[in-house]
A = this chain, B = another copy of it.
């Protein structure tokens, strides 16, 4: 929030980000504990740093997301699109918050992670993540026409950088919504996959991350991606 508040208004063309889901823990103890354990099978030790904000109480999470969405709206130019990752639990809140701070709600995209995800006994495999699509105001003539799909099938990558790392190929498809040469902002950068995709696709990029280990990883990856 500190960083975003210092940005100039109307200086960004697109937001693509994966906020913490706020579903990290079912119990108070779990919310206070390290959030890493949820994502591990029992007894397995992780070598990846924890992620921030995934184990917040629901109201704290909502307040944080509200604030970020408000800031993001200010720094975006009119006609800018924003894509927000979420799961099926968080989507209703995210949609309500986005609408209430003034984003136009445009639709819902699907990331299909495929059959590699864990099966669900007596039920349906949770193999998707959702992407809320919003826009600030209406389009300008700065936006060349593009026609993109609504479902993206990509396997989850082997976790080499971050606990919830996205495939670069997925992010490259999403980045297409930003006009070439435009600025993409990711306020929850993590290991910087959004930025790698943006730079590879000829967009400019700004990322923000509060966990210093991930900041370092992202810097290295972005330098690599920016090489000619």
Contact = CB atoms under 8 A, between A and B. Distances in A.
Contacts of A119: 147
A151 interface: yes
A128 B151 contact: yes
A150 to B, nearest CB: 4
Given A88-B108, A124-B148, 11 more contacts: A91-B91, A91-B92, A92-B96, A107-B120, A120-B150, A122-B139, A123-B177, A125-B149, A127-B149, A127-B151, A128-B151
Interface in A66-125: 81, 88, 91-92, 95-96, 106-110, 112, 115, 117, 119-125
How many copies of this chain are found per oligomer?
A: 2
A133 B125 CA distance: 11
A100 to B, nearest CB: 13
A71 to B, nearest CB: 23
A178 to B, nearest CB: 11
A125 B148 contact: yes
26 contacts: A81-B123, A88-B107, A88-B108, A91-B92, A92-B92, A106-B123, A107-B120, A107-B126, A109-B124, A110-B110, A115-B149, A120-B147, A122-B139, A122-B143, A122-B145, A122-B146, A123-B133, A123-B147, A123-B177, A124-B133, A124-B150, A125-B149, A127-B149, A127-B150, A127-B151, A128-B151
Nearest to A143: B122
Contacts of A121: 145, 147
Nearest to A121: B145
Contacts of A123: 81, 106-107, 133, 146-148, 177
A91 B120 CA distance: 22
A75 to B, nearest CB: 21
